[in-house]
Chains A and B, each alone.
Chain A
Amino acid sequence: MPGGPAGGGPAAWPATGAGAATSGAATFAGAWAKAVSGTSYLPMTQAQLEALLCRLAQDLAAALLAEPFDLRAGQRVGAELVAAHIASAEGLGRTVEVVQLRLVRDLGLVADDVEDRMARLLAAVATGYARALRDRTLDEQESIRRAAMTARAEAERALRASEARFRHQATHDPLTGLPNRALFTERLAAAVNTPGRAADRVGLCFLDLDRFKRINDSYGHQVGDALLTMVADRFRRALDGHLVARLGGDAFVVLIENTGGTRDVIAVAEAALAAVHEPALVAGHEVAVTASVGLVERQVAGTSPGELMRAADCTMHWAKSAGGDCWELYDAERHHRQLARQALSAAIPAALERGEFFLDYQPLASLRDGRLIGVEALVRWRHPQLGVLRPDSFIDLAEETGLIVPLGGWVLAEACRAAGTWSASGGAAPFVSVNLAVRQVHRPGLVQEVRTLLRHTGLPPERLQLEITESTMMSTAEEPVRALRVLADLGVRIAIDDFGTGYCNLAYLRDLPVTELKVAGEFVAGLRTPEARADERILASLVSLAHALDLTVTAEGVETAGQAERLRAIGCDAGQGWHFGRPEPADRILARLS
């Protein structure tokens, strides 16, 4: 308790009485209110403010006169001012000023040591005020900082949530909700590249819906999408526990981790095929769905995600080639053969440019007198690494890829060029027989191509024979027939190659300008054994059929003199085969001729 004023004069209300004191307090409160208004925002009406200040004025008056003098009363008033939001530096300054100037006078206070007491009272008010204001400031600072932190945490949480949402969008297929290629690649990489997993085995099941494009085309994309969604749901259910991803389009892939062998991936494939097989009713359409599945399963060590994906993808195409609705298991040897073939096929254009192809010729001899009447041009490839390749190792590839058109064009041109230089000493020079692939025959411009070649090489048309297969004529297109007819009218010989082994529609013999039938070697092979009467009868019938139609017949694959003799007896016109000469460069054949 601070010491009271010296003398400690008795407190005394002025003689005018309590009523006057009250009205004095109100007058003072009005002045006080005016002094503090505008120093800070006061959340009350003027009347409320004056009532508050009036009460505080009376508290101050009481404190001023109290015996003993109590500093706490002044401090309380300071704190109450702050609590009422009269809380600013200016608010305090003006309060001190107005109390000092007017409190004693307005309230008519009388005390011996009133100046002393006033100084100490104001000190107490200022102390209480400053303390409360400081506490309040600190509280408010703390609360706004806390709010800022909360807002930050909230923003962070929102960021993480949208990151998670964004990541989900980035890693999932929007149509089916399945993981997408990105997520699959990530998980596959983790399965293969995580250290310590080298001894594990891993499998992939690559699924592609069969003829999905046709569903899209015939029912529209909405039905296609609905079907994909349905298939995805089935996969999710049937292949629970494995990561199923949609790679795009109608391609899906399943990651099978920790496999024990191929049976594990086969089980997944069969479950997937069964799931696809369930009858599907999509947008009111009953749709039959099948899939082609490629499987690969191997130890993690020594493989890579890319290799696994390529292997599974390529295997899926084997299943497609096998007609779909089945699975195939990756076979490294088959894959390597395929790769080698692809490499060979890719090398054809450059080989053509570099002149790696050349022609050998095989004699066609008259069975009547053994005279050389023609040669068949046979293409060879002098491959820089693989040596000389026979046509059976690359013609199929060229046909698949369409490279047969430039390659066949080169063969035709080269054969015509060479044949144009052959001169006959004595008899007629041999004709040259060139194989035409289906695509060459169906290509517009064939007639023009042949005409130009004949003009440039000077080769008479009757010394060019074009060999086509029966399958060339299977299509009902009129254009090829018209082209062949024009060529035949020019005098070019048209032969049906491998007659009797393909699709054998005799009707085309009536429509086509054919001049010769080449009978497949397998009939001739039968002539080696005396008891093969059936082959001989077939040959005889073919010959008589051909002759009835004014066609000549050449037998292929004649290997022995006995076969040649039998064929001659049947009435066959000409023969081709080892018995008459193997394929060799033209100059050697021509040398023998002269």
Chain B
Amino acid sequence: MGRPNWAPDEIDIERPSVARMYDYYLGGSHNFAVDRAAAQAMVAAVPEAPLMAQANRAFLRRAVQFLVDAGVRQFLDIGSGIPTVGNVHEIAQRAAPDARVVYVDVDPVAVAHSREILAGNDGATIVQEDLRHPERIVDHPDVRRLIDFDRPVAVLIVAVLHFVPDDDRPAELLRTLRDALAPDSWLVLSQASADGRGDDERAEAEAVYRRTDNPLWIRSRSELTALFDGFELVEPGVVWVPQWRPESPESAEEAERSAFIGGVGRLGG
């Protein structure tokens, strides 16, 4: 309010950050008391919250492994958050050392942390930008330095879209990204869903996230499927994330408890 409009945003670590809350769910300690308090409130409302985060993270791991196996060597991870255990570049570069990974996040602390983690890694970098400005992401010199948009790119927007309300026109944002991609590029999406859950639980979860800068925007499976417009979903389509190409039949049991839906799509030639 008192801050002039030319001034950049302040760093407010008195406010819970969704990136650090997610780290807490995953068992990390890259978080502050305020983040833990919010995450604990979320766990009180939705006891499976840590499991959801883990299931989502496991989905990311399997999706990246799938893409590396499909020959993809360029990854653009938008909304990468705190670069905690099981990062895209760890998975991708272990399997393919020449893989290039650009992380994008709007949270300045997450960005600073990522920069520290990635120091010395020539094949990976972090860019501070908002998913709501896809054209800036695509035109960013650091993105352009590592990613050749004339060749296939995998765009990962994992556990992020539930922070993008319909008012921000997610379909248009994705279209802008899609238009920048070469044929045979990929899109990985996952987000929170309330399919099969009670209204109370949903309301409580939404109340927790209203304390952050990123309120929740729950979507149904059909809504998320629609966001793959222009991409051809690979099997099994948009499903509860534990059901997406599970490593063992048991790991897909009670998949709906993950509350996350996701899928992987391929851009036709």
Contacts and interface: CB of A to CB of B under 8 A. Distances in A.
Interface of A: 38-43, 45-47, 85, 87-88, 136-138, 140-141, 143-144, 146-148, 150-152, 154-155, 158-159, 162-163, 165-166
Nearest to A162: B6
A151 B30 contact: no
In the complex, the 6 A-B pairs of residues with the closest C-beta atoms, listed nearest first: A40-B27, A43-B86, A147-B113, A140-B29, A150-B112, A151-B108
Interface stretch (B51-59, B177-185, B213-221): B51-59
A172 to B, nearest CB: 15
Given A147-B109, A154-B112, A38 B8 contact: no
B11 A152 contact: yes
Contacts of A87: 27
A93 to B, nearest CB: 14
Contact of A144 (B53, B54, B113, B247): B113
B241 interface: no
Q: By CB atoms of chain B within 10 A, which of A137, A150, A151 has the most?
A: A151
Interface string B52-96: 011001100100000000000000000000101110001100000
B13 interface: yes
Nearest to A37: B251
Contacts of B109: 144, 147-148, 151
A41 B11 contact: no
Given A38-B51, A150-B112, A159-B8, A143 B13 contact: no
Given A148-B13, A151-B109, A155-B9, A41 B31 contact: no
A143 B85 contact: no
Nearest to B10: A155
Report the contact-size class of chain B (Cβ under 8 Å from the partner): 35 or more
Contacts of B108: 151, 154-155
Contact of A136 (B7, B20, B29, B32): B29
7 contacts: A40-B27, A41-B26, A43-B91, A141-B29, A148-B112, A151-B111, A162-B8
B196 interface: no
A186 to B, nearest CB: 20
A47 B11 contact: no
B86 A137 contact: no
A38 B257 CA distance: 12
B85 A41 contact: yes
Contact of B7 (A40, A41, A159): A159
A41 B251 CA distance: 13
Given A47-B247, A151-B11, A143 B30 contact: yes
Contacts of B13: 148
Interface of B: 4, 6-11, 13, 20, 26-32, 51, 53-54, 57-58, 61, 82, 84-86, 90-91, 108-113, 115-116, 247-248, 251
A141 B113 CA distance: 11
Contact of B4 (A46, A47, A147, A166): A166
A364 B58 CA distance: 118
Contacts of A41: 26-27, 53-54, 57-58, 84-86
Contacts of B115: 150
A162 B10 CA distance: 13
Nearest to B113: A147
Contacts of B61: 43
B93 to A, nearest CB: 13
Given A43-B61, A152-B11, A158-B8, A140 B248 contact: no
Q: By CB atoms of chain A within 10 A, which of B4, B20, B113 has the most?
A: B113
A155 B82 CA distance: 18
A299 B90 CA distance: 72
Given A41-B54, A43-B90, A45-B247, A151 B112 contact: yes
A580 B90 CA distance: 118
Given A40-B54, A143-B113, A148 B30 contact: no
A265 B86 CA distance: 72
Contacts of A136: 29
Contacts of A43: 57, 61, 85-86, 90-91
A46 B251 contact: yes
A39 B27 contact: yes
Contacts of B57: 41, 43
B4 A85 contact: no
A155 B247 contact: no
B56 to A, nearest CB: 9
Contact of B28 (A42, A140, A155, A163): A140
A144 B32 contact: yes
A154 B7 CA distance: 13
B262 to A, nearest CB: 16
Contacts of B28: 140
Given A43-B57, A47-B247, A165-B6, 14 more contacts: A41-B27, A41-B84, A41-B85, A43-B91, A141-B30, A144-B20, A144-B32, A147-B109, A147-B112, A154-B108, A155-B10, A155-B11, A159-B8, A166-B4
Contacts of B248: 46
Contact of B82 (A144, A146, A151, A158): A144
A85 B90 CA distance: 14
B82 A88 contact: no
A137 B58 contact: no
A149 to B, nearest CB: 8
A43 B28 CA distance: 13
Contacts of A146: 112, 116
A141 B251 CA distance: 31
Given A46-B251, A151-B112, A162-B7, A140 B53 contact: no
Contacts of B32: 144, 148
B6 A166 contact: yes
Nearest to B82: A144
Given A38-B54, A41-B58, A85 B85 contact: yes
A109 to B, nearest CB: 28
Given A38-B51, A41-B58, A144 B27 contact: no
B155 to A, nearest CB: 22
Contacts of A154: 108, 112
Contacts of A148: 11, 13, 32, 109, 112
Nearest to A90: B27
Given A40-B26, A43-B61, A147 B53 contact: no
Nearest to A152: B11
Q: By CB atoms of chain B within 10 A, which of A39, A45, A137, A165 has the most?
A: A45
Contacts of B54: 38, 40-42
B133 to A, nearest CB: 17
A205 to B, nearest CB: 34
B259 to A, nearest CB: 14
Nearest to B114: A147
Nearest to A48: B247
B27 A88 contact: yes
A486 to B, nearest CB: 67
